[in-house]
Amino acid sequence: MSLQHFSTKDRILYAAEELFAQQGFASTSLRQVTSRADVNIAAVNYHFGSKDNLVNEVFRRRMDVMSAQRLDALQRALEAAPGQLEPILAAFVEPALAMAQDRHGGGAFIRVIARTYAENNDRLRKFLSDQYGHVLREFAKAIAGCVSGLGKEELYWRLDFLSGALTYAMADFGLIKRPSGVSEATHRQRAAQALIRFAAAGFQAEAH
């Protein structure tokens, strides 16, 4: 992707996102970011102050939008279909899959998310928990209202499994590739529907 028509700040963010996706957080230096973005180190310091803050902002610019979309969709689902599980799950799944198809770096950001699972970065995980944990809590509360017999720990295990499956589906490393002649939008819709049905069955399964 050519970065020249973006602002300096956005060029840095796109460059960092691509490098973090390719190399991980620990292996990417600020010098590599500045070289990719064609800026000097002073620009990174001016806009972000530190590498840790740059990592945070790479997440914030995507996650803020997706989180707002999820919460808006959740509210609509609760109003339109109270007590129904699948619309709640759709509110969680569909905005994430849409972001994965964003042609302006969405695919790279999914690989960045995968890096947070692969790398032992407690500071980053705390940042994500502090900033976006409330979104998961809202979904957990809504899901709990649709299923019975699940304790809090079991509920959060299943929500964690859904998050992992969603990340896998977003990254498109699975067995199901987009068939020839099927549009990205249709493929994404089919993936969402299959994952929602799968997750609904999982949440409704009897707890042991």
16-44 per-position pLDDT tens digit = 999 999 999 999 999 999 999 999 999 99
**pLDDT number for residue 73:** 98
55-89 per-position pLDDT tens digit = 999 999 999 999 999 999 999 999 999 999 999 99
Rounded to two decimals, what is the model's pTM? Answer: 0.86
**Cβ 105 vs Cβ 17: under 8 Å:** yes
Read off the DSSP letter of residue 181. T
**CB neighbourhood size of 104 (10 A):** 11
Structure tokens at 87: 């619309």
